[in-house]
Amino acid sequence: MTTTALSRRRRVLPDRPATRIRESSVDRVFLVAVYLLLGVFVLAVLLPLVYIVASSFSSPAAVSSGRVFLWPVDFTLQGYEVVLTNPEILTGYVNSLIYAVAGTFISTTLTVAIAYPLSRRGLVGSNLIMALVLVTMLFTGGLIPTYLVVQELGMLNTRWALLLPQAIAVWQVIIARTYFRSAIPDELAEAAELDGSSDLRFLWSVVLPLSKPMIAVVALMYAITQWNSYFDALIYLKDPDLYPLQLVLRNILILNSSAGGGVVDVALQMQREQMAELLKYSLIVVASIPVLLIYPFVARHFTKGVMIGAVKG
């Protein structure tokens, strides 16, 4: 990590004086404009996020009277207390963790299981199989026909409905296959074969250890997709105990279903409404934290993963 940073800096430094000398005033103005525009980009991305976080730490009254801008007003953790003690949200959180872990495991295993054989040159029939896989990217049965399959398999209203129907993403197969092709030389596989190693053993003890960065990318991509999706849960699940967090979020945030009715006391009713409003902000933060926490750590690998697919393809 540090060595690469150093070597890169060394590469940049020598040509710096040269460019500085030749930099014309037009270029300098241009560069300033670039920095300014990038600053605008960053602000446009950041401001909404900062606003949400600031609101989530503010008092219910401040939030519902719209006094919060980019800094918490009347700092409090009330919103988070309510979120973290709400049984519906906790169930959703646990469910989403289950779906993310199980789904990532299933998806990553299946993706490697098809991508590795397809990456081996000279495996007869692999072009045909690859074509079969790719066709599913161009043409799909659609919502209802897929629903009918899930129904027929008896998976409606079970956890399997969220884990299996979307288990393999063709795009990930392409990324994995391209990686295997470029990272594992054919000679290595041939040498292993001559030494009497079986294909599976070679995969397990040579290919997989060499492919850790790519597997991390693929697994993370699946985990985030699983964590963020709500559509399959919306169509396949009826039982609220199985709902993933995103569906719970939708019910509370978008359908507004959490306000308790039947309260006569006006003051109490207002307090409740304010609380329901604050809860939304805290809920957004709590729901996004897992993803935003892991993404910077893996962003580097992530970028590589996208690059492999985009450039080497």
Partner 1 sequence: MTAVQAPPEGAAGVAAAPVQLPRPSGFSHRLRRSLRRHWQLYLLMVVPLAYFVIFKYVPMTNTVVAFKSYSVVRGVWDSPWVGMANFERLFRNPVFWTLVKNTLLLSGYTVLAGFPLPILLALMLNEVRHRLFRKSVQMITYAPYFISTVVVVSMLILMMAPRLGIVTKTFGLFGIAAPDLLGNPDYFRHVYVWSDVWQTTGYSAVIYMAALSAVDPALYESAKVDGASRLRRIWHVDIPGIMPTATIILILSVGNIMAIGFEKAYLLQNPLNLAQSEIIATYVYKTGLLNADFGLATAVGLLNSVVNLFLLLVVNWVCKRISGSGLW
Is residue 76 within 8 A of residue 276, CB to CB? The reply is no
- Of the pair 78, 285, the CB lying nearest partner 1 is at 285
Of the pair 149, 262, the CB lying nearest partner 1 is at 149
Q: Over the range 105-118, which residues count as b (16 or more CB within 10 Å of their CB) and which as e? A: ebbbeebbebbbbb
Considering the complex, state which of residue 253 and residue 264 has its C-beta at the smaller distance from partner 1: 253
Between residues 82 and 130, which has the closer beta carbon with respect to partner 1? 130
- 239-278 residues in contact with partner 1 (CB under 8 A) are 246, 249-250, 253-254
Residue showing tokens 């290919």:
207
Nearer to partner 1 among residue 210 and residue 273 (C-beta): 273
Say whether residue 7 binds partner 1 (CB under 8 A): no
> For residue 243, what are its two tokens?
């709902």
Strands (E), 204-272: none
Contact positions with partner 1 (CB under 8 A) in 51-80: 51-52, 64-66, 69
* Residue 159 beta carbon to partner 1: minimum distance, rounded to whole angstroms: 16
From the CB of 81, what's the least distance to partner 1, in Å?
A: 20
Alpha-carbon distances of 224 from 13, 104, 219, 241, 244, rounded to whole Å: 38, 9, 9, 21, 13
CB of 212 to partner 1, least distance (A): 19
CB-based contacts of 114, cutoff 8 Å, min separation 6: 129, 133, 168, 173
Window 150 to 209, contacts with partner 1 (CB under 8 A): 152-153, 164-171, 174, 178, 198-200, 203
Among residues 229, 237, 258, 279, which is the contact residue for partner 1, using CB under 8 A? 229
The residue range among 22-30, 71-79, 209-217, 262-270 that interacts with partner 1, by the rule CB under 8 A, is 22-30
Residue with tokens 């892991």: 294
DSSP H/E element including 238: none
- Other C-beta atoms lying within 10 Å of the C-beta of residue 205: 12
Q: Are 179 and 214 in contact (CB under 8 A)?
A: yes
Evaluate whether 183 touches 214 at the Cβ level (below 8 Å): yes
Of the pair 104, 178, the CB lying nearest partner 1 is at 178
Smallest gap, in angstroms, from Cβ of residue 213 to partner 1? 15
Which residues have a Cβ under 8 Å from the Cβ of 146 and sit 6 or more positions away?
Answer: 140, 165
State which residue, 78 or 227, has the beta carbon closest to partner 1.
227
In the complex, what is the shortest distance from the CB of residue 75 to partner 1, in angstroms, rounded to a whole number?
18
Minimum distance, C-beta of residue 196 to partner 1, in the bound complex (Å): 13
Single out the residue of 133, 156, 206, 270 in contact with partner 1 (rule: CB under 8 A): 133
